[in-house]
């Protein structure tokens, strides 16, 4: 068996294909990786309530979510990094004036600041999740919000980037960007986990495919981009594997001699 590694997997476009299905070879590879004695974790932009069933199916209880703002190690929360409340309140007002709705995301639920909107429906439907979305324009007040979904067309986020330097705006859909603290990323969240473990830096692995994976793929020594991932993700990663539906996870793990 190879020396113990810790492997972090993105979800959308990495563990799950475009149809949000978990390929059979991927599930088998994850199980074999765990049986070989390696640590397995998730690193995602999703909220924790977006992938509870996936965690249960794969037997994973360590995860970095909200793009690094909320981190759980073996079932225990070890890191929380909510958005600045005052700036978020201002962003909500400004975005409403610009007809760019927001979905506020807490650790257990999410609420939109408008009753309904075509862009919100399109974006959330693309995730194929069975999670209810309520309407509460004041949901951000008096509670921690770890990430927001700002619904705007490509290029419109430049206005917000200039106005809110304390936030980072990362596009995940043609009609939406994630809003997270500027200093936050999956890479930061992963460090919160690996600092607790006696695993050498060169034995940390990450698989990803998208723009919110760039810091993670750049920083982690053994980073792998999916074959059908974003060109910038491929450029940032140290290795490239096949596409999700072409047994990309299995082939990537074998390439690294972890299986």
Residue 10: active-site member: yes
For residue 87, what are its two tokens? 């700036």
Which residue, among 242, 251, 75, 217, has the nearest Cα to 204 in the 3D structure?
A: 217
Could you report how far apart the first and last alpha carbons of the chain are, in Å?
A: 8
| Beta bridge partners of residue 40, listed in sequence order | 7
Which residue, among 61, 119, 121, 65, has the nearest Cα to 95 in the 3D structure?
A: 119
As a whole number of angstroms, the distance between CA 122 and CA 102 comes to: 14
Count CB neighbours of 25 within 10 A.
Answer: 16
Distances (CA, A) of 230 to 79, 144, 226: 28, 31, 8
| H or E stretch covering 41 | strand 39-43
Which residue, among 144, 67, 60, 62, has the nearest Cα to 105 in the 3D structure?
A: 144
Per annotation, catalytic residue among 10, 12, 209, 247: 10
Catalytic sites, residue numbers: 10
């Amino acid at each position: 068996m190879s020396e113990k590694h810790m492997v972090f997997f993105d979800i959308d476009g990495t563990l799950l294909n475009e149809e949000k299905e978990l390929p059979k070879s991927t599930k088998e590879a994850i199980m074999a990786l765990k049986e070989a004695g390696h640590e397995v974790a998730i690193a995602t932009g999703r909220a924790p309530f977006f992938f509870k069933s996936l965690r249960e199916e794969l037997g994973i209880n360590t995860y970095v979510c909200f793009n690094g703002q909320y981190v759980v190690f073996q079932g225990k929360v070890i890191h929380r990094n909510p958005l600045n409340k005052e700036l978020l309140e201002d962003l909500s007002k400004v975005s409403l004036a610009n007809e760019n709705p927001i979905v506020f995301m807490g650790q257990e639920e999410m609420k939109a600041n408008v009753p309904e909107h075509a862009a919100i429906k399109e974006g959330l439907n693309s995730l194929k999740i069975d999670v209810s979305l309520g309407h509460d324009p004041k949901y951000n007040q008096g509670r921690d919000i770890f990430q927001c979904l700002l619904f705007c067309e490509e290029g419109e986020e430049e206005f917000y980037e200039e106005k809110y330097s304390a936030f980072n705006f990362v596009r995940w859909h043609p009609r939406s960007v994630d809003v997270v603290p500027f200093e936050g990323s999956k890479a930061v969240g992963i460090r919160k986990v690996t600092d607790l473990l006696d695993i050498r830096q060169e034995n940390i692995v990450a698989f990803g495919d998208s723009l919110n994976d760039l810091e993670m793929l750049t920083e982690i020594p053994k980073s792998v981009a999916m074959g059908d991932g974003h060109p910038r993700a491929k450029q940032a990663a140290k290795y490239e594997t096949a596409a999700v539906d072409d047994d990309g996870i299995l082939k990537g793990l074998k390439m690294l001699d972890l299986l």
